[in-house]
Amino acid sequence: MNKALKSSLLIMIMLLTGWMSFAQNPNPECTKIVASDRSLYDEVGWSCAMDGNRAMMGSRNCKQMYKHNILGDMGAVYFYEKTNSGKWTEVQKVQSDDTVYGIIFGTSVSMCKDFAIIGARGEREATDMGYLGCRGSAYIYQCQADGKWTKVQKLMLPKGKRAEGDYFGEKVCITEKYAVVCAWQKSLGASFLSGQNGVVYVFKKGADGKFGDMKDILPEDKTTRDFGGAISVCGNRIVISAAGYVCIYELNGTGEWKLVQKLNNPFPAIGGFGSAVACSNDCVVVCAYGVVETGHIPNTKMVVTWDSTHKYESAGVAYVYRKTNGSWQIKQTLQAKDRMHHAYFGMAASMNDSILAITAFGDRVTESNDENLQYVGAAYIFKLDKGGSWYEYKKIMPIVRRPWLKFGFSVCVSGLSAIIGCRFDDRDAQGANPIERAGSAYIYEPKRH
């Protein structure tokens, strides 16, 4: 049998396996949720968040009606709650009341107890030129006594600081004390086209429940790029990634956020350092999804199924930092047990003191480099052993494994559970009724024995 025929048969077998796999759910501990009004190209699962029995997922492209006109790329956010019977149910869909097209409401989301924050990186003035707008904003929602989520505040940069191309709202995070918003591409003096420095803004919750007293966290110098590309907040600590390094900030006694340590890429030849960050009380995780395995990293492995000289390019790695003698040091390096070429392990990450979730949205059906089998995606759950080291506990895959789902584009953990976004999914919760790139999310809840 010639090589081309073998390759064709392999593709057919794997695709058929993917189409049929919903009958044999590889993750019985997962619940798939989709929007009640699934629509073409919505990309629900672009962002997601979870806190206890509540969850939310953002849509990048959801359309919106305004005065009989359909506005594109408006975005939307869907709120879910877990009922007493254990079923996850959609309770509300929210969209921005701004009526300028392309605001991408739901760019990023976060929730904590009765509060949620929604980023809209494309929000703009009506007079902005379409390709230069993207000033951005963030919306605070609060769950009322009747269970309805209501917008209570809109966060924006004040006049004089608000500019085209800021992308304010690209990343957001909310805690009991703070709302953190990244203006990922904000320029610090350079023109818009050559700027892209980035600034992170911290809003403190007041006694009235409103977020104000804005503090800005600036990168070290104007040569920095993509500051705020990824963030994680825990207590009085904020971890912020930039192009090539990661910064840890802590709140000092005078109420200022001070840089306590800059984490440089331990292996400069490895790309994507800071692609995702996560932190808990005593641990910081920094991912590098563009990693190329070399002799610097233990347990390297050649991909002999393609080319004996080809290593695991962009397999992905995560570095676990812990504070020792007052400084943060690498204590562990994490990789997927079944790592493969261009899996991009480290696309998204989230953690607490109990579990760590890291996604690989490029994970494939097989190790073959055939583009028809790529970007299925997966998520890996890690737990702590008795010695305080993280170990891979479970790999989560979409129910129907098909190419280009990008399962794992977003992730958030809460307790022992996690929600995982699948922005290109085209099937409903039962694996039927295809709508191209409608999107979905999976909620992982371990069985309790």
Flag whether 444 is in a domain: no
Retrieve residue 26's tokens: 């590889």
Q: How far apart are CA 306 and CA 309, in angstroms?
A: 9
**How high does pLDDT run on average in the chain?**
87
Structure-token pair, residue 357: 């979730």
Task: Specify the long-range contacts of residues 325-332, CB closer than 8 Å, at least 24 apart.
Answer: 327/261, 328/248, 328/261, 328/263, 328/284, 330/266, 331/389, 332/389, 332/390
Residue 8 lies in a domain: no
144 and 68, same structural domain?
Answer: yes
The predicted structure's pLDDT at residue 222: 79
Q: What is the DSSP letter of 244?
A: T
Question: Does residue 165 register a pLDDT over 60?
Answer: yes
Confidence of residue 10 (pLDDT cuts 50, 70, 90): very low
Average pLDDT of the residues in 218-238: 92
Residues 50 and 183 in one domain: yes
Over residues 281-310, mean pLDDT:
60
Q: Provide the domain limits for residue 69.
A: 31-254+422-436
- 177: CATH: 2.130.10.130
Contacts 24+ apart (CB under 8 A), 245-250: 245/273, 245/274, 246/273, 246/274, 246/277, 246/284, 246/286, 247/219, 248/284, 248/328, 249/217
pLDDT above 60 (res 27):
yes
- Polymer length in residues for the chain: 449
295 found inside a domain: yes
Q: Give pLDDT, residue 79.
A: 98
Query: Do the domain assignments include residue 22?
Result: no
**Range of weakest confidence among 17-31, 32-46, 377-391:** 17-31
pLDDT, greater one: 57 or 289: 57
User: Quick check: is 14 in a domain?
Assistant: no
- Is the residue at 320 inside a domain? yes
User: Coil, strand or helix: which one is 12?
Assistant: helix
Q: What is the pLDDT of residue 131?
A: 59
Residues 407 and 384 in one domain: yes
User: Token pair of 22, please?
Assistant: 């919903």
Give residue 86's pLDDT: 92
pLDDT band at 16 (very low <50, low <70, confident <90, very high): very low
Same-domain status, 168 and 276 = no
Q: How far apart are CA 55 and CA 32, in angstroms?
A: 12
Task: Write the pLDDT tens digit of every residue in 238-287.
Answer: 999 999 899 999 999 999 999 999 999 998 766 789 999 999 989 999 99
Structure-token pair, residue 402: 């098909």
Residue 345 CA, distance from chain mean position = 12
From residue 193, how far is each of 128, 166, 168, 187, 393 by CA, in Å?
A: 15, 11, 16, 9, 44
Model confidence band, residue 125 (pLDDT cutoffs 50, 70, 90): confident
Phi first, then psi, for residue 440 (nearest 5°) are -165, 180
Tell me, yes or no, whether 158 and 37 share the same domain.
Answer: yes
User: Is residue 184 domain-shared with residue 290, that is, in the same domain?
Assistant: no
pLDDT at 162 over 50: yes
Residues 235 and 152 both lie in one domain: yes
Q: Is the pLDDT of residue 308 over 50?
A: no
Local confidence band at 128 (pLDDT 50, 70, 90 cut-offs): confident
pLDDT tens digits, one per residue of 352-399: 999 999 999 999 876 666 666 789 999 999 999 999 999 999 999 998
More confidently predicted of 65 and 279: 279
pLDDT score recorded for residue 223:
83
270 and 194 within one domain: no
Does residue 49 fall inside a structural domain?
yes
Report CA dihedral (165, 98, 93, 47) to the nearest 10 degrees.
Answer: 0
300 pLDDT tier (thresholds 50, 70, 90): very low
Is-above-0.85 flag for pTM?
A: yes
Q: Three-state DSSP class for 251?
A: strand
Question: At 25, is the pLDDT very low, low, confident or very high (cuts 50, 70, 90)?
Answer: low
Q: What is the model's pLDDT at position 371?
A: 60
Q: What is the pLDDT of residues 391-442, one digit of tens each?
A: 999 999 998 888 999 999 999 999 999 999 999 999 999 889 999 999 999 9
Same domain membership, residue 249 and residue 225: yes
Same domain, 159 and 295: no
Bridge partners of residue 82, in order along the sequence: 88
**Lowest mean per-residue pLDDT among 65-69, 81-85, 337-341, 424-428:** 65-69
pLDDT, mean of residues 299-321: 62
426 and 411 in one domain?
Answer: no
333 within a domain of the structure (yes/no): yes
- The string of DSSP codes covering 369-401 is --GGG---BEEEEEEE-TTS-EEEEEEE--SS-
Together in a domain, 187 and 329: no
User: Which H/E stretch holds residue 4?
Assistant: helix 3-20
Closest of 360, 366, 364 to residue 409, by C-alpha: 360
pLDDT of residue 22: 38
Inter-residue contact 157 to 138 (CB < 8 Å) = no
Highest mean pLDDT among 125-134, 183-192, 383-392: 383-392
pLDDT band of 4, cuts 50, 70, 90: low
- pLDDT tens, position by position, 71-106: 778 999 999 999 999 999 999 999 998 877 788 999
Rounded to an integer, what distance in angstroms lies between the CA atom of residue 257 and that of residue 266? 25
Domain count, the chain: 2
CB atoms within 10 A of CB 72: 11
